[in-house]
Chain A
Amino acid sequence: MNDKLEKMRKEYMEIKPSEQLKDSIETILKNNKHRNNPWRKIMGVVAGLAIVFIVSLNMSSVLATTISDVPGMEGIVKVLTFARYEVKDNGYQAKVKVPKIEGLLDQKLQDKLNQDFKESANTIILAFESDMEELQKQFPGEKVNLGIDYGYIVKTDNSNTLAIDVYMVNTVGSSSTTHKFYIIDKKSQTIVTLPSLFKTSADYITPLSDYIRAEMKRQNEKGENTYWVDDPTFGPFAGIKVNQNFYINNNGDIVICFDKYEVAPGSSGSPEFVIPEEVVKDIYN
């Protein structure tokens, strides 16, 4: 065979799947043995026809009450669900929960954050609807797996800190999850960014990255996880970014967060690392 083709052939033969592929195929074959149950077919059709469409702004009157209007409750910072959007139709699924912050004394900051939340949610809803329309044109009447789940989790809510994790799960194909964290220092009424936690011109990237890398290795060795620390395909762990996702937990510790697939395969979800005080005590602001 020609040299070029021989070279390409060699490269082709090097292409190998992960261990998970064999497992997932075996699972599929095993589950298939239980098929051929006539009831399953009927259930599938019924589920596909269900369309649930809820759009509500300013939900129920209970939630619409602004907490800070209640005397004595000014300055109590809370997070509410501002709006919900849901679609469930023949494999197309969307679940969107939009947060709203109330009670911040800094009205401008509060408005900016709430505007941010609304705009991100709107962008995602529009993108989803346009994808759905496009796919329905290409595959009319067929079940298509297109899903998004956008919502928020309050990670920390104590007298010092309010930390919200706004996540987005994209369930097309292999699902991916991204996060955006909002951390509010209740005492100073400001948004906390990662660099702001440390003394100016202090290098926080190195000590944090080193700690995380060592922790990844430790967990990998113990078989607790499979981080890409020195992976042949995904390369070494490159350390954290200047504005790496993080939040402050209830103990006041920094927790560094990675998106799904950022530093590990999908099976590891969105990994989080609690940074012990000793690692940052010298450079902490």
Chain B
Amino acid sequence: MTNQQLFEQHIIENLNSAYRFAYTYTKNQEDAEDVVNESVVKALKSVHSLKNPTRLKTWFYRIIINTAISYIKRNKSIVYLNPMDMAEMNENSEQLSDIGLEQMIDMLDPKYKSIVVLRYFEDMTLEDIALTLNENVSTIKTRLYKALKILRIEMEEVL
């Protein structure tokens, strides 16, 4: 199978997970779909030069992240925080036990957010996350720890 065929198979099987991941950046459906479309186009352009086809998954997630970030920069869309969300975030830590996905997405910087999403929702290993984000594993661990601290989630419960 050529790289291109491998990628075609991958995207068809993992379309929803690519979309969900893009959504954590764009926070709305249309933009997330545009980002996925653009990422697929970009991937098809350079898939032949992918040296290690087993790394297809992490490679494609990387493309989605880059595409999402430059898409957001280009569109400069202003996201107005619902006053209720803001009030919730400003209240003391007891209230944060009700934190949901949307608040998490708004609270975390992209470099922390993607680690939490890839680790706990897409079930990636720390090694694969390191490859996706082009960092070393210890950096990923440090950031994961920081992210969970921001979310007020105790490390012992999850590791």
Other than A1-B120, A13-B20, A16-B20, give 5 A-B pairs with Cβ distance below 8 A: A7-B101, A17-B15, A25-B37, A173-B31, A173-B71
Q: Binary interface profile of A, 192-231, with partner B (CB < 8 Å = 1, else 0)?
A: 0000000000000000000000000000000000000000
Question: How many Å lie between the Cα of A5 and that of B20 in the bound state?
Answer: 16
The answer to the question of A22 belonging to the interface, with a C-beta cut-off of 8 Å to chain B, is: yes
Give chain B's interface residue range (CB within 8 Å of chain A): 35 or more
Q: Does A62 contact B (CB under 8 A)?
A: no
Q: How far is the CB of A204 from chain B (nearest CB, A)?
A: 30
Write the nearest CB–CB distance from A178 to chain B, whole angstroms.
15
Contact of A20 with B33 at beta-carbon distance under 8 Å, contacts A4-B97, A9-B121 already known: yes
- Taking a contact as CB atoms under 8 Å apart, the answer to whether B121 and A28 are in contact is no
Q: Which of the 9-residue segments B58-66, B83-91, B150-158 touches chain A?
A: B150-158
Complex CA gap A238/B27 in Å reads 23
Are B104 and A8 within 8 A (Cβ)? Answer: yes
Once the chains bind, are B40 and A173 in contact (CB under 8 Å)? no
Measured between beta carbons, the chain B residues less than 8 angstroms from A11 are: 100-102
A9 B120 Cβ-Cβ under 8 A: yes
Identify the closest chain A residue to B37 (Cβ): A24
When C-beta atoms are compared, the residue in chain A nearest to B20 turns out to be: A15
* Max count, chain A CB within 10 A of own CB: residue among B44, B73, B121: B121
Encode B37-64 as 1/0 by CB contact (under 8 A) with A.
1001100100000000000000000000
Query: A12 interface residue, CB < 8 Å from B?
Result: yes
Separation in Å of the A23 CB from the closest CB of chain B?
Answer: 10
Nearest CB of B to A228, in Å: 12
**What is the minimal beta-carbon distance from A246 to any residue of chain B, in angstroms?**
26
Quick check: is B106 within 8 A (CB to CB) of the other chain?
no
In the complex, whether B117 has a CB less than 8 A from a CB of chain A is yes
Contacts of A1 in B (CB 8 A): 120, 158
Interface residue A251 (Cβ < 8 Å from any Cβ of B): no
Listed from nearest, the 6 A-B pairs whose CB atoms lie closest are A11-B101, A2-B157, A17-B19, A12-B121, A15-B20, A8-B101
CB–CB A174/B31 < 8 A: yes
Assuming the A-B contacts A2-B154, A28-B41, are A138 and B20 also in contact, with contact meaning beta carbons closer than 8 angstroms in the complex? no
Chain A residues with CB under 8 A of B32: 17
Contact assessment for B75 and A172 in the assembled complex, using a CB-CB cutoff below 8 Å: yes
Which residues of chain A come closer than 8 Å to B4, judged between CB atoms? 32
Check if B15 sits within 8 Å of A21, measured CB to CB. Answer: yes
22 cross-chain CB contacts under 8 A = A1-B120, A2-B154, A5-B120, A7-B100, A12-B121, A15-B19, A16-B20, A17-B16, A17-B32, A17-B36, A18-B33, A21-B37, A22-B15, A25-B11, A25-B12, A25-B15, A29-B40, A32-B44, A172-B75, A174-B33, A233-B29, A266-B30
A144 to B113, CA, bound (A): 27
How close is B158's CB to chain A, nearest CB, in angstroms? 5
- The interface bits of chain B over 76-104 (1 if a CB of A lies within 8 angstroms of the residue's CB, else 0) are 00000000000000000000010111101
Give the contacting residue for B40; candidates A15, A28, A261; CB below 8 A.
A28
With contact pairs A2-B158, A17-B19 given, residues A12 and B101 touching in the complex (Cβ less than 8 Å): yes
Contacts of A22 in B (CB 8 A): 15
Kindly name the residue among A15, A29, A144 whose own CB sees the greatest number of chain B CB atoms within 10 A: A15
Residues in A whose Cβ lies below 8 Å from that of B112:
none
Is the beta-carbon distance between B100 and A5 smaller than 8 angstroms? no
CB 8 Å contact bits of A11-47 with B (1 = contact, 0 = none): 1110111101110110011001001000000000000
> Is A80 an interface position by the 8 A CB rule?
no
Q: Is the CB of A25 within 8 A of B40?
A: yes
* B36 A25 Cβ-Cβ under 8 A: yes
B34 contacts chain A at the CB level, 8 A cutoff? yes
